[in-house]
């Protein structure tokens, strides 16, 4: 496919972009996973949120009320000229659900990273994706000194539906991160068309 | 050009600088589109037009998007927030300088061939 024709006539065929979310608590390895499989180091983008009623047409261009900036790390994996995969690390804090809603739209599925030393950190992510009906898998990132829970113990602690895959990973390892993504895509494929993701709306 | 006296709020030390979004968009901070972060942007021309009426950041987008880039990539490369880039795209689309493929409009799950391509592609990385 040649995108660089000068003065294209008509519409060029654009590749299909697939989006996968990488969620989990702060410091669980989201950015590490994005970086270990993506073709470049993780990129960073921001959504700026204004408080309601902010005078955006203020001719001075000066923000009158407070804004909040929510940062997202993401990476790109070019599968082919027709297919590009993007991985988005989701911001961890609950107060950024509106960004999750936005990220969830059009997402294929999500990986919830868990650290067994603080398993509760991933409860909000699990809860969110269940409610959003976005297919997800849980990947337990193996930190040193972490007590080894069995995957069944993790499943039980997270109260996961039986069809939700749970696996071990090391987000620093490219191969391991690839395995996680493959497991997610296979899970989504198995889930088929039985569900439609939708924003949760908080 | 003067800098508005604004104090950005950082939530993460590693976050890049947000470049005066309101200055860049001429104060029109509300985009007409709500493009997905993975909406792909492709320029329809090889270079920005020489005539007036295009912001420097819009010219940069035309240069950047000679190959399809996601909205989020454009924003990251320009160090601008997503919303600001959406506003800039409004203008570029109105002038026919870029085309945007917003997956939000494609409501269905990918078909089996896409799943296979994804799985095989990931395995071969
Ligand atoms: N031992 C170990 N450390 C990891 C692993 N994944 C990430 N880390 C480290 O944990 C820290 C936080 O990771 P980061 O990706 O920034 O977490 P994020 O906040 O979820 O994006 C970094 O110092 C990583 O090097 C892992 O699988 N094992
Ligand atoms: Mg991170």
> Is residue B87 domain-resident?
yes
Q: Work out the minimum CA distance from B11 to partner chain A, whole angstroms.
A: 7
Single out the residue of B74, B31, B75, B124 nearest to residue A70, CA to CA. B75
> Is residue B4 domain-resident?
no
What percentage of chain B reaches a pLDDT higher than 70? Answer: 71
Ligand nearest to the CA of A32: 1
Range in A44-58, A86-100, B13-27, B75-89 with the lowest mean pLDDT: B13-27
> Is residue B6 domain-resident?
no
Mean pLDDT over residues B68-73, rounded?
97
Q: Is the pLDDT of residue B122 over 90?
A: yes
**Distance from residue A60's CA to the centre of ligand 2 (Å):** 35
Q: What is the mean pLDDT of chain B?
A: 81
Q: Give the number of A-B residue pairs with CB atoms closer than 8 Å.
A: 180
In order, the DSSP letters of chain B are -PPP---PPPS-TTPPPP--HHHHTTT----S----TT-EEEESSSS--SSSS--HHHHHHHHHTTS-EEHHHHHHHHT--HHHHHHHHHHHHHTTSEEEE-GGG--SPP-HHHHHHHHHHHHT-
> Is residue B10 domain-resident?
no
The pLDDT score that the predictor gives to residue A34 is 98
The pLDDT score that the predictor gives to residue A173 is 96
Q: Which domain holds residue B35?
A: 17-123
> Is residue B54 domain-resident?
yes
Q: Does the beta-carbon distance from A4 to B66 stay under 8 Å?
A: yes
Instruction: Provide the CATH number for the domain around residue B62.
Output: 1.10.10.10
Does residue A93 have its Cβ closer than 6 Å to ligand 1?
no
ipTM for the predicted complex:
0.84
| Residues forming a β-bridge with B40 | B70, B101
CATH 3.40.50.11310 fits A16-44+73-192, yes or no: no
Q: Does the beta-carbon distance from A16 to B8 stay under 8 Å?
A: no
> Is residue B43 domain-resident?
yes
Local confidence band at B21 (pLDDT 50, 70, 90 cut-offs): low
Taking only the tens place, the pLDDT of each residue in A15-47 is 999 999 999 999 999 999 999 999 999 999 998
The pLDDT score that the predictor gives to residue B61 is 97
> Is residue B12 domain-resident?
no
The pLDDT score that the predictor gives to residue B54 is 86
> Is residue B108 domain-resident?
yes
Domain count, chain B: 1
Task: Identify the segments of chain A with pLDDT beneath 70.
Answer: 1-11, 50-66, 94, 193-202
**Distance from residue A8's CA to the centre of ligand 1 (Å):** 44
Q: What is the pTM of this model?
A: 0.85
């Amino acid at each position: 496919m040649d995108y660089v024709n000068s003065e294209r006539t008509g519409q060029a065929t654009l590749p299909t972009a697939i989006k996968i979310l990488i969620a989990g608590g702060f410091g669980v390895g989201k950015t590490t996973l994005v970086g270990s499989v993506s073709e470049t180091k993780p990129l960073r983008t921001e959504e700026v949120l204004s408080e309601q009623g902010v005078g955006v047409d203020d001719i001075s261009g000066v923000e009158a009320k407070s804004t909040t900036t929510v940062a997202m790390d993401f990476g790109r994996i070019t599968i082919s000229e027709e297919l590009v995969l993007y991985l988005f690390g989701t911001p961890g804090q609950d107060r950024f659900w509106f960004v999750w809603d936005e990220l969830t739209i059009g997402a294929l599925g999500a990986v919830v990273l868990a650290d067994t030393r603080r398993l509760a950190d991933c409860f909000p992510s699990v809860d969110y994706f269940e409610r959003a009906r976005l297919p997800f898998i849980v990947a337990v990132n193996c930190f040193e000194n972490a007590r080894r829970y069995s995957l069944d113990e993790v499943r039980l602690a997270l109260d996961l539906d039986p069809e939700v895959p749970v696996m071990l990973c090391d987000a620093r390892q490219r191969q391991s991160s690839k395995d996680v993504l493959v497991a997610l895509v296979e899970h989504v494929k198995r889930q088929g068309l039985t569900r439609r993701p939708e924003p949760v709306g908080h | 050009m003067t800098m508005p006296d604004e104090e950005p709020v950082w939530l993460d030390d590693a976050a890049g600088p947000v470049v005066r979004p309101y200055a860049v968009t001429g104060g029109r901070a509300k985009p007409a589109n709500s493009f997905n972060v993975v909406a792909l942007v492709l320029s329809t021309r090889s270079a920005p037009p020489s005539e007036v009426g295009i912001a420097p950041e819009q010219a940069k987008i035309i240069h950047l998007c000679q190959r399809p880039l996601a909205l989020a990539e454009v924003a990251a490369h320009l160090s601008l927030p997503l919303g600001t880039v959406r506003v800039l795209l409004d203008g570029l689309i109105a002038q026919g300088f870029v085309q945007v493929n917003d997956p939000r409009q494609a409501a269905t799950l990918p078909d089996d061939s896409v799943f296979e391509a994804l799985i095989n592609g990931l395995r071969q990385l």
